Structure 1
Amino acid sequence: MAQNQGGAGGGFFSSIASSFSSFKEHVNGLLGYEGLEVIDPEGKGTEDAEIEAERGRWKGEERDSYWRSMQKYVGADITSMVTLPVLIFEPMTMLQKMAELMEYSQLLEQADNCQDPYMRLVYTASWFISVYNALQRTWKPFNPILGETYEMINHCGITFIAEQVSHHPPISAAHAENEHFVYDITSKVKTKFLGNSLDVYPLGRTRLKLKKDGVILELVPPPTKVNNLIFGRTWIDSPGEMVLTNLTTGDKVVLYFQPCGWFGAGRYEVDGYVYNSDEEPKILMTGKWNESMSYQPCDLEGEPLEDTDLKEVWRVAEAPEDDKFQYTYFAHKVNSFDTAPKKLLASDSRLRPDRYALEMGDLSKAGSEKSFLEEKQRAEKRIRESRNQEFIPKWFDMTDQIAPTPWGDLEIYEYNGQYAKHRAAADKSNSVEQVNIETTEFNPWQFGNLTETE
């Protein structure tokens, strides 16, 4: 059932829905590509894929044009160098996507209250796995503008703040905290465009502190692959190992994400063990990242102990049926102003006009607003360079730490505590500001109104 421990190995995604059955016809006629693997991960026929494709926003002629324009990028990292059409986006930014990990934060409350060090790892590993259900959505989130932020409150007492701290390379930093935990991440994504698929490598450092015992955990997630990016039915896979290490004790969890085989064999499956500091298995874990995770005590051979049962630790919540963007109920909360704090920062992702236009179904306006924001970002960069100034984030400080990852080194940003002071002052204020998309202009800019500046 489970895999023994190994090395270390998630991501953001893009999608273009089109007919599964048209794959060979188009690929054979374009660039002479051969051997591009096409799998229906649900194990269903082409009719189902075609029906799904009809619900998409990607027209055949647009798809072919996009394929021709993208061929020069095969083998390259396209994280920040390609202008993508708005029709492949979902109305959410990467900063908001990072906040979706907070949905099942009750698992961290259980971990913080748990006295058993191995069960504590079961709860926290399940928490990290829970976000993969949200990450399987095949629409791409918007890249944040430099200086853009996202704030979230009104969920399990959590205060969440994220900020885009670098544009080239794109780096996001986030901090979340309540009475049970402190969560910090510096996230930098590296990609490799392979024509009809995209490999996504998570160059990030993720740390979680549980407050009662002060233990610190560090995560190394597996890479992610976006399959059938242009031709066929788009689907997501994250084959590889997720390693969660207790830096305080040396205990760890190693979970193996099974790769999807033909007709969906093995898709979603996760198996592995909780190990003590001597690398002896103590608890086996098994499940599916889109469904549930369970655990059972095991012997030194990794076999379940007699007189013990497999017990469920986490199960995915019900989601809306036929949701336009495959959103969960929590994803809608992330986009809502109901989870926004008093005196929301004008740099918040909710206020982006391109994101909001897409949410309202106006692709034309979303595209023009996206282009306008990107041009303002370039204009601000020119001003900054002319003044010989570096961009300085507000809520995170760049450190001199360089963290090694399986896919490259990462510059580390740390939460500086200033947001807590800002939020406390705003919450004590007697004035009530109703911040919304109609009354507040999105403003992440370092130099104010760039249309007036130029």
Structure 2
Amino acid sequence: MQVTEDKEKEEETKVVLTTPFSIGESDDVYRAPNLLQRILSLLKNVRPGSDLTRFQLPPLFNFPKSQLQCYGESVYSTSSDLLSKCNNGQNPLDRFTSVVAWSISTTRPAVFGVAPYNPILGETHHVSKGTLNVLLEQVSHHPPVAALHATDKEQNIEMIWCQHPNPKFNGTSVEAQVHGKRELKLLNHGESYEMNSPSLFIRVLPVPGIEWIGNVNISCQESGLVAELCYRSSFLGIGGKQRLIKGKIFDSSSLKVLYEVDGQWDSTVTVKDKNTGKVRVIYDAKEVISGLQTPILKDAESVRATESALVWGKLSQAIMNKDWEKARVAKQIIEERQRQLSKERESKGETWISKHFVVSHSKEKGWECSPIQRWVPAAPVIAF
């Protein structure tokens, strides 16, 4: 009897780490059978214009990863060190162009018909890659808001993000606008770069597909440089080039265009020097986000109880095993526990407080998340 209890306890506390999505990876890894029919059945009672942030997906429509992990992977899961290139640029324009390339690298493949888990309140994701330490926390559940803090003491680099996705159903498609600010600081150069995220567009009919679309602006107040990028695809995803990026880099003080940006975020992106006409590649997706490896657990004892890979471990393992009944039960237990905790806080008049960020919200500025610690500590989960 004791052996059985110990085995069950071990299963419940297992950390399950999964491989990041890569360019060229098959998109049917986690697909359920008859996917399109299942999606249409799922959405038939959802009204156009509905906010989907409270919409609960059955495990059939989840892949074994939390949204918090997806945000983190876009920062630490790379095959080459773009952040060092940003830091080592010889002049502001070189550094700015490298930051544009790094920003593009955070755009990752998505799989049609499946979505990550909605993180629970207080969930964390803590990973190290080399000297870069990354910590995320779900600082609000309704609406869903995630905060990210990443630091590299050796490179003297800091990142602070505050992400607020807002998915809405439009009848034949879902568009998830990602509100919030991303900030990258190159402290050796006294430069801070602010940027936003494109939107995720999921088309159900007439041609199923999933794309990143919209405008991304990147600016550096210290140098006065600005990039305006447009993510787009061909009409209805039919014919022509897909996953396009077009834009420009210019000096905000003179409005002089320095570079034209052109390419595909899942292939190569180039800049054309407006003075010389010279074209060069600044980003190659196959070099940066292909063949990504699964992180490893270095120190199980140091894993927080709130770590994504632990919170969702049992559910993730069930999905990977395609054991849908076990997955349904595992997800139900997590969701019911969160409802119970929310009711307990409400009955006591308590307000949940983030452990790693100071969080504020206003109509003028939206959600803002300031990290409590100056430097993120090394993590028990290691990425390569």
**TM-score, normalized by length of structure 2?**
0.82
Q: Name the structure 2 match of 1:349.
A: 308
Code of the residue aligned with 1:238 in structure 2: it is: W
CA contact (8 A) 2:215 2:230 kept: yes
Q: Name the structure 2 match of 1:98.
A: 71
Seen in structure 2, the aligned counterparts of structure 1 residues 233 and 354 have a Cα distance that, compared at 3 Å, is farther
CA contact (8 A) 1:112 1:210 kept: yes
SS at match of 2:302: coil
Q: How far does residue 184 in structure 1 lie from its aligned partner after superposition?
A: 0.7
CA contact (8 A) 2:180 2:367 kept: no
Q: How much is the aligned-residue C-alpha RMSD, in angstroms?
A: 2.9
Deviations 1:222-261 (A, max 9, x none): 3231111xx5653222333211011223211111223322
Distance 1:243 1:62 in 2: 37
Gaps of 5+ in 2: 1-26
Q: Name the structure 1 match of 2:137.
A: 163
Q: How far does residue 412 in structure 1 lie from its aligned partner after superposition?
A: 0.8
Q: How do residues 210-289 of structure 1 correspond to structure 2 at under 5 angstroms?
A: 210-228=186-204, 234-261=208-235, 263-277=238-252, 278-289=254-265
Distance 1:256 1:345 in 2: 39
Distance 1:242 1:419 in 2: 28
Seen in structure 2, the aligned counterparts of structure 1 residues 187 and 276 have a Cα distance that, compared at 3 Å, is same
Q: How many residues matched?
A: 347
Alignment partner of 1:390 out of 345, 351, 366: 351
Q: How far does residue 120 in structure 1 lie from its aligned partner after superposition?
A: 1.4
Q: How far does residue 290 in structure 1 lie from its aligned partner after superposition?
A: 0.6
Alignment partner of 2:370 out of 393, 401, 414: 414
SS at match of 1:333: coil
Distance 2:188 2:316 in 1: 39
CA contact (8 A) 2:123 2:138 kept: yes
**TM-score, normalized by length of structure 1?**
0.70
Code of the residue aligned with 1:244 in structure 2: it is: I
CA contact (8 A) 2:151 2:159 kept: yes
SS at match of 1:73: coil
Q: How far does residue 273 in structure 1 lie from its aligned partner after superposition?
A: 1.4
Q: Name the structure 2 match of 1:73.
A: 47
Larger radius of gyration: 1
Deviations 1:77-98 (A, max 9, x none): 111x212111111111011101
Seen in structure 2, the aligned counterparts of structure 1 residues 121 and 369 have a Cα distance that, compared at 3 Å, is same
Gaps of 5+ in 1: 1-51, 300-304, 320-326, 428-433, 435-454
SS at match of 1:78: coil
Distance 2:262 2:334 in 1: 44
Q: How far does residue 394 in structure 1 lie from its aligned partner after superposition?
A: 0.8
Q: Does 1:141 align with 2:116?
A: yes
Q: Does 1:111 align with 2:71?
A: no
SS at match of 1:382: helix
